[in-house]
Structure 1
Amino acid sequence: MQIILCESAEQVGRRAADIIEARVRQGPAVLGLATGGSPASTYAELIRRHREEGLRFGDVTAFTLDEYAGLPADHPQSYHSTIRREFVDHVDLDLAKLHTPRGDAEDLVAEAARYDLAIVGAGGIDVQLLGIGANGHIGFNEPTSSLRSRTRVKTLAVATRTANARFFEGDDEEVPKLCLTQGLGTIGESRQAVLVALGSAKAAAVQAMVEGPVSAFCPGSVLQLHPRATIVLDPGAASQLTMLEYYRDAQALNDGLQ
């Protein structure tokens, strides 16, 4: 893992956007897109670079991490609608190249298998953007998820549904109980994973992910096995890490080499 320590959410967004931009400018790219609060500053920075610096997304194919079961793509709280609202509609990414699981599919198990194969068919994901939940989940892979899991149907934890109730007028009962999510094994096949985390509410999960054992109880810890995982943190998210001095030294050296 490479740990990047930042001073603000805006700096987190800039550092994550640097990685994504570098790959996009190389030519046709496949991006994995997360939703939620954590990647918001990354998307804001990519949109700014598109508008002000000519960063183009016409050669990008994108796959979202997950989707609520039961919600059609045009539902305002579906992740298809959310990623369009937060990012895609503000850049020149072709909507035909934006892929999300169909939450309203009649056969969710078959839809999950189709989506997993679609990622493979696109050549795999070059850069996967991730956030982490307070319980350590990445995507919707809740604690006890198999570390080798593929895209599949999952039951959402009560803590996750409570955290997401703010998008459903604060009503936990309106949050779907099932979802479709890329599995930990699917995420692990990305060529580069970039996880962004903000705030002290994520600090315990970040510490478990980075410094704890690889464990299904902290799904994010599977990134310890990823050959190219970058973790980008603000001070709050990094506040429980025990090796901060080492991470700062390594970051200074890496930044100097670049």
Structure 2
Amino acid sequence: MRLVIRQDYDEVSDWVAHYIKERIIQFQPSKDRPFVLGLPSGSSPLGCYQRLAKFCKAGQLSFKHVITFSMDEYVGLPREHSQSYYSFLWEHFFKHLDIIPENINQLDGNAADLDEECRRYEAAIVKVGGIELFVGGIGPDGHIAFNEPGSSLTSRTRVKTLAYETIIANSRFFDGEVSKVPKLALTVGVATVMDAREVCIIIVGAHKSVALAKCVEEGVNHMCTVSAIQLHPKGLIVCDEDTTLELHVKTVKYFKSIEHVHQSMIGTENLSLQGQVLSTSGIAKRRYTQEELDKGSSIAGAVAASAAICDGDAEDKTDDVDQRPSKKRK
């Protein structure tokens, strides 16, 4: 699993948008071999969507051979309603692209048979060869799509009852009135998301820092459904600095050190977009500036020091427990 940390929401949005753009371009999609993209709703991907739309308008990216599958939809809310996820994605994303309308796949929360609608959706994903890249966001409790805490990690697209906390959180989109928020939704399952060949999760904001810590530092658990990404061979999380507040210092330093090695020591020219080494010969011939070496030493020292502190092995131990450094950053 990769953890990419950027300074703030704008930098996270920039990184993810450029990543999606390059993934589509490198894939070289065609009518017979489309790029299949899974998409979330909500505030987390908005900045990314705006940037992708700009790429498309500038002629740097095309969605003509991209097929999309949205994560979820409310049950009983008219498609034209301003808070339906179809309307959200259309207003904030699809209408700004050159995407073919027939290539937009969305769950129908008003279908006569909701269970059959869920089976149809799963079959549609299989028919196009599976999802190449599934982008997602999470809730403060670590749920992905509408897979609330307690959801099966092998779940598929289905009808889901929303948790009370989720209803309260979403009431801000319904004039602050809880009674207006739908209580049921159709959602892709955890396994549906994890079946994608690559999964990219956007996590931003201090209010999601506990969820990130559980996802990265604790075990896979159905009470934090996004933690299933630990089992994915190509799992990627992109977050901002605020979201790392509950992570151990050594965890943050470790993932930053990996990125430093990739960029400054191995070299991006020797790596694929997904971080896989393409050429070892280029690495052996690479020469480093003193600045790169100093930065690498600084990061390595910080990782070692924080690890020693967290493990209680620092040389300047004290008998006063209250003086010991905390494992969490304050």
Which band: TM-score by shorter chain? over 0.9
Size of the aligned set, in residue pairs, is: 258
Tell me the equivalent position of 1:234.
Answer: 240
Greater mean alpha carbon deviation, residues 39-48 or residues 19-28 = 19-28
Alignment of 1:31-42 (within 5 A): 31-42=37-48
Contact 1:23/1:29, CA 8 A, preserved across alignment? no
The reply on whether 1:246 has 2:254 as its aligned counterpart is yes
Tell me the equivalent position of 1:208.
Answer: 214
Tell me the equivalent position of 1:46.
Answer: 52
1:112-135 Cα deviation digits (max 9, x unpaired): 111111111111111111001001
Tell me the equivalent position of 2:91.
Answer: 85
Distance in 2, Cα, partners of 1:46 & 1:3? 22
One-letter code aligned to 1:21: K
Greater mean alpha carbon deviation, residues 61-70 or residues 20-29 = 20-29
Larger radius of gyration: 2
1:84-123 Cα deviation digits (max 9, x unpaired): 1111111111111111100001111111111111111111
The reply on whether 1:76 has 2:97 as its aligned counterpart is no
The reply on whether 1:118 has 2:124 as its aligned counterpart is yes
Distance in 1, Cα, partners of 2:24 & 2:53? 13
Please report the TM-score for the alignment, with normalisation by the length of structure 1.
Answer: 0.97
Distance in 2, Cα, partners of 1:15 & 1:253? 18
Greater mean alpha carbon deviation, residues 134-143 or residues 15-24 = 15-24
The reply on whether 1:5 has 2:5 as its aligned counterpart is yes
Tell me the equivalent position of 2:302.
Answer: none
Give the counterpart of 1:222 among 216, 228, 236: 228
Distance in 1, Cα, partners of 2:189 & 2:106? 14
Gaps spanning 5+ residues in structure 2: where?
269-330
One-letter code aligned to 1:252: H
Distance in 2, Cα, partners of 1:84 & 1:237? 29
Tell me the equivalent position of 1:157.
Answer: 163
Contact 1:72/1:102, CA 8 A, preserved across alignment? no
Contact 2:157/2:192, CA 8 A, preserved across alignment? yes
Alignment of 1:59-208 (within 5 A): 59-208=65-214
1:147-182 Cα deviation digits (max 9, x unpaired): 000000100001111111111111111111010000
Distance in 2, Cα, partners of 1:122 & 1:175? 33
Q: CA deviation at 1:146?
A: 0.3
Contact 1:3/1:251, CA 8 A, preserved across alignment? no
Please report the TM-score for the alignment, with normalisation by the length of structure 2.
Answer: 0.76
**Backbone CA RMSD of aligned residues:** 1.1
Greater mean alpha carbon deviation, residues 99-108 or residues 22-31 = 22-31
Contact 2:133/2:198, CA 8 A, preserved across alignment? yes
Contact 1:65/1:139, CA 8 A, preserved across alignment? yes
Tell me the equivalent position of 1:16.
Answer: 16
The reply on whether 1:255 has 2:263 as its aligned counterpart is yes
Q: Secondary structure at the match of 1:48?
A: helix
Distance in 2, Cα, partners of 1:238 & 1:18? 22
- Which 4+ stretches in 1 moved above 6 angstroms? none
Distance in 1, Cα, partners of 2:219 & 2:208? 17
Contact 1:156/1:179, CA 8 A, preserved across alignment? yes
Q: CA deviation at 1:53?
A: 4.7
One-letter code aligned to 1:247: F
Contact 2:8/2:242, CA 8 A, preserved across alignment? no
Q: Secondary structure at the match of 2:58?
A: helix
Tell me the equivalent position of 2:279.
Answer: none
